[in-house]
Chain A
Amino acid sequence: MALTYQAIATTTVGSGGAANIEFTSIPGTYTDLYILYSLRSNNASVFDNIIFTVNNSTSTYNERLLYGDGSSAASAIPGGGRTSNIQFLYTNGANATSNTFANGSIYIPNYAGSTYKSISFDSVTENNATSAIAALNAGIWSTTSAITSIKLTGNNSTNFVQHSTATLYGIKNTV
C-alpha cells in the first residue's frame, strides 16, 4: 500500500459477535478515508447487506447500485429515494460456505471538507457455489459537516460473527 495510507484503527470481532462496528473521533487530518473490511453475518442467508451511516445521521443519503449475482446483472436505485442510510453493500451470510468472509472497501474523499460527501463502495461475497454477489455502489451524504464517525451495521437484526475485521485508513496527498 502506498506510503500515503496510514492505518488509523482496526478491529476484529470477538466470540460474542457484534451488531455494529463503529469508528469514532476520526481525526480530520487526512484528505481521504478508506475502509477495508472482511465480514460475515449470522443471518440465515447466503449473503446479507450492511448498513452504512456516518456521524449517527439518519438522513440525506442516496445510493446507486450496480451488481451481479452469478446469473444476472442489474442496476438499481435502492429504496426509491429512501435516505436514512446506505444499505446495499454486502457481506457473507450464515449460509455461505463455512469460514468464508466477504470483502469490501469504502472510499470517502474530502471527508473533512465542507462539501457534500461522495462515497464509493465495492463489495464481493465469497461462496463455493453458484450464488454470490459482486456490487459497486455510488453513494452520497448530502451534508457539509466533516465526517467524524462511521458505523457499519449488520442488517436483518443480525450480528457480525467472530473473526470479522474492519480497518480504517487515512490517506494524505503528501508523503
Chain B
Amino acid sequence: MTETLTKIIVDCSTKQETIVPLTAEEIAQREIDAEYFAEMQAQEEAQAQAKAQAKASAEAKLAALGLTADEIAALSK
C-alpha cells in the first residue's frame, strides 16, 4: 500500500492546524528536489575522492624523491 504523504498547515490567523495530503505538484517537486540533492551529493563525493587521490599521488611522488613521512606531513601544515 502506498503511503499518503501529508503536510501540517498552521493558519496563523486562526491558530488552527490541519493535516492534509500533499498535492500532485508538491509530490512532483519533492522528486525533482531529491534528484537534485542526490546529484549534488554525488558531485561533492567525486570531488572529495579526486582530491584525496591527488594528495595520495603527490605524497607517493615525494616519498619516491626520498622525503620522509614527517617531512611530507610538514609540507601540508
Contacts and interface: CB of A to CB of B under 8 A. Distances in A.
Contact of B7 (A19, A26, A79, A157): A19
B7 A22 contact: yes
Interface stretch (B33-41, B53-61, B62-70): B33-41
Interface string B11-26: 1111101010010001
Interface size class of chain B, counting residues whose CB lies under 8 Å from the partner chain: 20 to 34
Interface stretch (A9-17, A100-108, A132-140): A9-17
Interface of B: prevailing SS: mixed
Contacts of A17: 6
B31 to A, nearest CB: 7
Interface residues of A, number: 33
B75 to A, nearest CB: 19
Contact of A25 (B11, B29, B34): B11
B10 A23 contact: yes
Given A13-B8, A24-B9, A159-B5, A87 B14 contact: no
A24 B40 contact: no
A78 interface: yes
Interface of A: 8-11, 13-14, 16-27, 49, 51, 58, 78-79, 82, 84-85, 87, 153, 155-157, 159, 168
